[in-house]
Structure 1
Amino acid sequence: MAPFCAKMFISCGYERRAGKRLFPTEWFNYEYRRTSKEFFKEVFHAHSQMELTYVHQGRGLLIIEGKSYSIEPNTLLLFPPFQMHRIQIQVTQEEPFIRSVLLFEPAVLQSYLNDFPSLRSFFQRILRQQSNIHPVHAMAENTPFVALLRQFNETNTSMREGEFEENMGVFLLSLVHQLKQNPEGDASFLKKHNHHVEDIMQWIEEHYMEPFRLEELASALHLSPYHVAHLFKESTGTTIVAYTQATRVRYACGLLRKTSLPLSEIGYQVGISNASYFSKVFREIMGVAPLSYRQHLLK
């Protein structure tokens, strides 16, 4: 087996060898204090891995599930698998975006949870997005959770061959245990936008299944189309059209989870009547085709 990667970015690619359980590269990725000093741009997206991002430094906005949250230093962002989200950070040389990012496939942790039924139940609720855990947590640098992030980074370079799997399991179990101690997060991070922007988001939530017409939205808000589009882009960093498509895909995910409707019908119900275009938009945002998403949930 190749030596464990000792860079700041930890990407461990494994296969089954000599009777040991080893993992593909994409199953566990960890990067400690990744820094962006000049540019950071993210589109609406989702992935099959669970994501934990701790913000050491940086300010911006998180849009998730039709809501927006402030991102500030010393906050933890939590995204279950296939939860669509978008992060906007205003990066400058004076205030870079510094974060520690952990992505892992839930299957990596499942076997380690067998001896911890309460922790396993909590983790399953997160995966099914049934827990009351918020996507944004206030979390100081001196908390046990952040200490675990730092300690794992410090010890990974000295791990001997064959130690990584065990250390990774303990690391993930410890992080989930810390989350379980305070699952509610901090609702005070809910960002209060200009009320027009909140009205735009609410209008889209109510009309996403209809053909989008900027003129109708602007008329409902008693604003000009140009002002509506400019206001939304300036506040959220994304366009109204992109937000509308992301909203449609989010509701399509719900129909894929809860019904056996064919893709053509799901696309029609969320406002994308062309089945092939619906699949294209879904794949661009979610990273997988709609049928693959449904099959993943049935595993």
Structure 2
Amino acid sequence: MLGANWFQYEYRRTSTEFFQEVFHAHSQMELTYVHEGKGLLIIDGKSYSIEPQTLLVFPPFQMHRIQVHVTSDEPFIRSVLQFEPAVLQGYLNDFPSLKSFFQRLMLQQANVHPVNAMAETEPFAALLKQFGQTMGGMGETEFEENRGVFLLSLVHQLKQSPDGGSAYLKYHNHRVEDIIGWIEKHYAEPFRLEDLASSLHLSPYHVAHLFKESTGTTIVAYTQATRIRHACALLRKTTLPLSEVGYRVGIANPSYFSKIFRQIMGVAPLSYRQHLIK
């Protein structure tokens, strides 16, 4: 791994033991290319299957969670790039169209799917490989120069094919989709597992077990993540006080709202809002 938190890249990071994330977000842009491994991505109230030769795109502060089934015979191998958007700003001034696309991408307004089918031979994947195999032998000045070219080239490739290939590899567990859909409609209300189970004509135990088995997380954890995701939208689009934002997403206690928000997003609600204003 080279660089500080504002630029991190690791080519073919490998996990051979159990791999599972909690719901989280971060200020960096993240591009993860999956070489090997299968699992599940939950993002923006939807679930997607993760397959080999797919690119995962996470703009800053976009909440997500990955679960991958890992064994010694079936490792999870991925190339992971994270960088602060400010790293690119100086390079983008001479490319207005690319700069506009990147700004929309940062605000989650660009038409780029979170999961994109992408063969290892495609230009984007080839760039990841080339930089990963050569960056270790670069001096500091050469590395800084090549890093800029690398990031510009990746964003250019992303802009060229936002709708390419068989993107949207949707995870077809209809019961899980039903549970997610119910939570999307009722997240602002006090959560009762019995109400959810009754709407699906299942027992509370069956609903909880099914969701945990399919997604690797609990319904309560997912409900909290959904509330925080909607809180982010209110913080972006309104000037409502933080207490009102928490109340509208079903977390009426302001201190508890701030605590959960920080746990998931990595920053306090006010810091999140101020970051977007910059």
Fold match, TM over 0.5?
yes
Residue number among 42, 45, 52 corresponding to 2:31 in the alignment? 52
Q: Which residue is equivalent to 1:275?
A: 254
Residue number among 218, 223, 238 corresponding to 2:217 in the alignment? 238
User: 2: CA distance between counterparts of 1:103 and 1:187?
Assistant: 21
Q: Which residue is equivalent to 1:20?
A: none
- Give the match's secondary structure for 1:134: coil
Q: Which amino acid aligns with 1:64?
A: I
| Map 1:201-212 → 2, pairs under 5 A | 201-212=180-191
User: 2: CA distance between counterparts of 1:277 and 1:120?
Assistant: 38
User: 2: CA distance between counterparts of 1:85 and 1:188?
Assistant: 15
1:124, CA displacement in angstroms? 1.0
- Give the match's secondary structure for 1:100: strand
User: 2: CA distance between counterparts of 1:56 and 1:124?
Assistant: 28
- Give the match's secondary structure for 2:8: strand
Residue number among 158, 161, 170 corresponding to 2:149 in the alignment? 170
Q: Which residue is equivalent to 2:58?
A: 79
| Map 1:77-226 → 2, pairs under 5 A | 77-185=56-164, 186-193=166-173, 195-226=174-205
User: 2: CA distance between counterparts of 1:73 and 1:140?
Assistant: 9
Identity within the alignment, %: 77
| Map 1:242-281 → 2, pairs under 5 A | 242-281=221-260
Q: Which amino acid aligns with 2:250?
A: G
| Count of residues in correspondence between the two structures | 277
1:161, CA displacement in angstroms? 3.1
Q: Can you list the C-alpha shifts for 1:34-57, whole angstroms capped at 9, x where unaligned?
A: 000012110000000000000000
**TM (normalized to structure 1)?**
0.91
- C-alpha change, 1:279 and 1:56, in structure 2 (3 Å) is same
Q: Which amino acid aligns with 1:226?
A: Y
Query: Contact 2:117 / 2:167 at 8 angstroms: preserved in 1?
Result: no
Q: Can you list the C-alpha shifts for 1:204-234, whole angstroms capped at 9, x where unaligned?
A: 0000000100011111111100000000001
User: 1: CA distance between counterparts of 2:163 and 2:189?
Assistant: 35
User: 2: CA distance between counterparts of 1:217 and 1:282?
Assistant: 24
Answer yes or no: is 1:35 the counterpart of 2:14. Answer: yes
1:252, CA displacement in angstroms? 0.1
Q: Can you list the C-alpha shifts for 1:220-249, whole angstroms capped at 9, x where unaligned?
A: 111100000000001111100000000000
Deviating runs (4+, > 3 A) in structure 1?
A: 185-188
Q: What are structure 2's unaligned runs of at least 5 residues? A: none
Q: Which amino acid aligns with 2:179?
A: I
Greater Cα radius of gyration, structure 1 or 2: 1
- Give the match's secondary structure for 1:192: coil
1:146, CA displacement in angstroms? 1.0
- Give the match's secondary structure for 1:99: strand
Q: Which residue is equivalent to 1:5?
A: none
